[in-house]
Chains A and B, each alone.
Chain A
Amino acid sequence: MSYRVIGIVVLAAILAAVPSIASEYWVALLTQVLIFGLLALSADLLLGHAGLFSLCHAAFFAVSAYTVAILQTRYGVTTIPAAVAGLVAGTLLAAVFASAVRTRGVYFILITLAFGYIVWGVAHRWASFTGGDNGVTNVPPPSLGGLQIVTKAHYYYFVLVVLAICLLGYRILTTSPFGLALRGIKSSESRMRSLGYRVGAHLYVAFIISGFYASLAGVLYIYYNRFVNPVAAGFPISVEAILMAIIGGTGTILGPFIGSGIILVLRNWVSGFFHYYTAVLGLIFIATVLWAPNGVMGLIRSWRSGNRGEGA
């Protein structure tokens, strides 16, 4: 346990020191890693804890980003109410899409995929409101009660603080009786049902909470990126979030962030000299499934347990 505390303190110290030792490029990239890591973590609440494979998390991410962008640029709403509205919009959408938990397995995967496409379709086609393919541009930097966050380093610290608070909440959630019940559902739904748990209600609530975290990632993203277009709602973002969670290791807090780091650093590096990055991404998908289905955290775990054949 004390190792864990030391680890967290060291990690926090390193993260806090990054802007003073690394260039602005790395600070921006690390901010992006944290934001997409949060999106991957939100999808992993369903995947790693409840065993549901959702392909629509980009929808909540994009809806909250669009809401903030439109309120700020078109209606002059200030940062805090706009951000709250973004969170509410994304979470409400999650409450609607959560009806997918009535299905399981392949049907759940395919239905969430179709749900995700609705949002992409609206962002893409309803050009008079969403700006079509150009999206919404010129989102101002966030300002919290007169304090403007302009530089990349300041925004990085802001993201770090927000993230620390939500990871604490996530940790409390997943170790609570509710989180344990989700894990129970993952390993045997019929057993949990016969023990008297309301499985449907648990999954429904988990889906909404997961949508809330994805919406939060969307709010952080829009102030990082300063514009949003239908790409943010696209299927590739949803499936990449799942891939990040799996590469890092599902059912952990650190895993999705490791996965996000691997994917985004690789993308920045590869697209510098190779035009067809998506082909490389495709190969990463294939390689992960074939050779590293338990991800980095799974490798660490099996290494720590002395290779006694303990998987994840």
Chain B
Amino acid sequence: MTGVIVQAINGLSLAALLFLLASGFTVTFGLMRVVNMAYGAYYLLGGYVGLSVMRATGSFELAMLAGGLAIVVLGFFVDRFLIRPIGSNHLAQVLLTVGVAFFIGEVCLAIWGGDSLKIQLPSYLRGSVELPGGIYYPKLRLGLIGFGAFVAFSLWLLYHKTQIGAVVRAGVDDREMVNAIGINVDRLFVLVSALASFLAGVAGVVGGAFLTLNPGAEWDILVLALVVVIVGGLGSLEGAVLGGIVVGLLDAYGRWLAPDFSYFVLFGPMAILLLFRPTGLFGKEH
């Protein structure tokens, strides 16, 4: 019984991490129909930048900020000079951003080496707390769940309760129409993309403390984030929350009950879901 609860919390903490990455992917796709496979590499690079800042300053908050901002700058240049010229061809977008991800991955390898690195936590996040029922659980993971819920709630407020959120939602539904009534969707996209890049970089720093940073981690996390997006439905923020929870829990229980086949446990239900709902739980035709 204790195992079941511990795995549920494990799953939710992974869900929080995946949500940070998947929410950006899904909303930028919804707005501009851009498939950016470099988000995994953004995550990894953000994590490494955070690692270096953490080593230099000892401040975890500063590390998160630095990791996020570094990716905002990088993401802007990738959007502006690489993705925008090729237009709306998904095949070209995927190949191009895979190339960007390969390049970033090798730069990270050259700078930070091939060993698995972990970000040292500040003292207030180390150790564990006792939950009701005598379960000891690491503070970091509980903090991550709280952080994920906070970000999800903030994004929800931004998306549904503000003027800018209304414009973004309108842009997701019908970009030409929003353009036609005089709103510059390209400029709006720069803003949304910056937010998404920031979250990806922050996710890397958090992930660097929670998992490890190593070459190849960018693809592992990207695939999980993509499954979140597929299950939830492309372009849907609520879908990213629900998809994150589904994937997090399946991954945690899969690793626990059938370690050899944990990928099966994760992808099998996804495949079955797609047979009945090809656009995911909340998705629309694109």
Stretch binding the partner chain, chosen from B103-111, B127-135, B199-207: B103-111
- Inter-subunit contact B35/A106 (CB<8 Å): yes
Q: Given A106-B90, A114-B270, A276-B109, A286–B263 Cβ distance below 8 Å?
A: no
Q: CA of A53 to CA of B90 in the docked complex: distance in angstroms?
A: 9
Q: CA of A176 to CA of B104 in the docked complex: distance in angstroms?
A: 44
Residue A114 contacts which of B35, B226, B262 (CB distance < 8 angstroms)? B226
Assess whether B96 is interfacial by the CB under 8 Å rule. Answer: yes
Assess whether B98 is interfacial by the CB under 8 Å rule. Answer: yes
Q: Given A103-B278, A115-B271, A283-B99, A110–B105 Cβ distance below 8 Å?
A: no
Q: CA of A288 to CA of B92 in the docked complex: distance in angstroms?
A: 9
Could you tell me which A residues sit within 8 Å of B by CB distance? 47, 53, 55, 99-100, 102-103, 105-107, 109-111, 113-115, 117-118, 120-122, 125-128, 235-236, 239, 242-243, 246, 276, 278-279, 281-286, 288-290, 293
Give 6 A-B contacts (CB < 8 Å), ordered by A residue: A111-B230, A118-B263, A120-B263, A127-B260, A281-B102, A290-B86
15 more CB-based (< 8 A) A-B contacts, given A106-B29, A109-B94, A117-B267: A103-B274, A106-B35, A106-B234, A109-B91, A110-B226, A111-B230, A121-B262, A125-B262, A127-B260, A235-B219, A246-B95, A276-B106, A276-B109, A278-B105, A278-B106
Q: Write the nearest CB–CB distance from A312 to chain B, whole angstroms.
A: 13
- Inter-subunit contact B105/A53 (CB<8 Å): no
Q: What secondary structure prevails in chain A residues at the interface with B?
A: helix
- Inter-subunit contact B286/A282 (CB<8 Å): no
User: 6 nearest interchain CB pairs?
Assistant: A285-B99, A121-B263, A282-B102, A282-B103, A279-B106, A286-B99
Assess whether B245 is interfacial by the CB under 8 Å rule. Answer: no
Q: CA of A117 to CA of B222 in the docked complex: distance in angstroms?
A: 11
Residue A243 contacts which of B95, B103, B219 (CB distance < 8 angstroms)? B95
Q: Which residues of B contact A110 (CB under 8 A)?
A: 35, 226, 229-230
- Inter-subunit contact B90/A125 (CB<8 Å): no
Q: CA of A106 to CA of B271 in the docked complex: distance in angstroms?
A: 15
Q: CA of A110 to CA of B85 in the docked complex: distance in angstroms?
A: 23
Could you tell me which B residues sit within 8 Å of A by CB distance? 29, 35, 82, 85-86, 90-92, 94-96, 98-107, 109-110, 219, 223, 226-227, 229-230, 234, 259-264, 267, 270-271, 274-275, 278-280, 286
Q: Which residues of B contact A115 (CB under 8 A)?
A: 267, 271
Residue B102 contacts which of A106, A278, A288 (CB distance < 8 angstroms)? A278
Q: Which residues of B contact A99 (CB under 8 A)?
A: 271, 274-275
Q: CA of A125 to CA of B258 in the docked complex: distance in angstroms?
A: 11
Q: Which residues of B contact A283 (CB under 8 A)?
A: 99, 103
Q: Given A102-B275, A103-B278, A110-B226, A126–B260 Cβ distance below 8 Å?
A: yes
Smallest CB-CB separation from A116: which chain B residue?
A: B223
- Inter-subunit contact B91/A53 (CB<8 Å): yes
Smallest CB-CB separation from B98: which chain A residue?
A: A239
- Inter-subunit contact B96/A107 (CB<8 Å): no
Q: Write the nearest CB–CB distance from B29 to chain A, whole angstroms.
A: 7
- Inter-subunit contact A289/B99 (CB<8 Å): yes
Q: Given A114-B270, A121-B263, A125-B259, A282–B99 Cβ distance below 8 Å?
A: yes
Residue B95 contacts which of A103, A235, A288 (CB distance < 8 angstroms)? A288
- Inter-subunit contact A125/B260 (CB<8 Å): yes
